[in-house]
A = this chain, B = another copy of it.
Amino acid sequence: MQIEDTMLVDFLTGALTGTAIVEGARDLASLKGIFGDEEALAALDPSRLVYRVQAFQPVDEGTEGGLFWGSTVLEPGLVGDEYFMTQGHFHAKRNRGEYYSTVAGFGALILMDEARNVRVEWMRPGSTHYIPGYTAHRVANIGDQQLSFLACWPSDAGHDYRTIALHGFSARLLCIEGQPKLVPQP
């Protein structure tokens, strides 16, 4: 029997390989409005890579009962004193959950419920995090190496990036005297 072209996860780097993988990348320019310190952002190269994503979507987006699988590699860096981070989103279907499973590096999973209460779960190799429904999620890289994590989420979850783009999170994770600190926003 032949070996099919199965998707492979590299558990050292988080990289996915396989024919049906879709890829994307976000640079600083594409994340304008996300970071708090606009002056610091303006001083950085806008083409600087912040994160790359890979996704395996074996069924159509919106399919009930299906699941997608993804991998994100988030670069280390700061915009002023704010860690490089992902854009952050609620699921369009609010009750849909998700898993993040850390492969390499050190990070912070920043979670915000619909009442805008924020909490952090610390990410380290092997740490596997359940993101409940009704919870916006964003990841910050708090280390000095790449942070890689796998994700699994329902194919009918969808992404609501707009709510975060409009209102942000109610707290920012800043590097204060070399340590991550969650700082409430006015």
Contacts and interface: CB of A to CB of B under 8 A. Distances in A.
A120 to B, nearest CB: 6
Contact of A8 (B97, B98, B128): B128
Contacts of A120: 1
Given A127-B8, A129-B6, A154-B154, A93 B65 contact: yes
Given A58-B132, A130-B56, A132-B58, A101 B9 contact: yes
Contact of A66 (B11, B16, B133, B152): B133
A126 B11 contact: yes
Q: How many copies does the complex hold?
A: 2
B128 A69 contact: yes
A125 to B, nearest CB: 8
Contacts of A58: 97, 130, 132
A103 B3 contact: no
Given A59-B97, A120-B1, A122-B3, A130 B67 contact: yes
Q: Which of A58, A99, A120, A182 has the most CB of B within 10 A?
A: A99
Interface of A: 1, 3-4, 6-11, 16, 56, 58-59, 64-67, 69, 93, 95-99, 101, 103, 120-122, 125-130, 132-133, 152-155, 157, 180-182
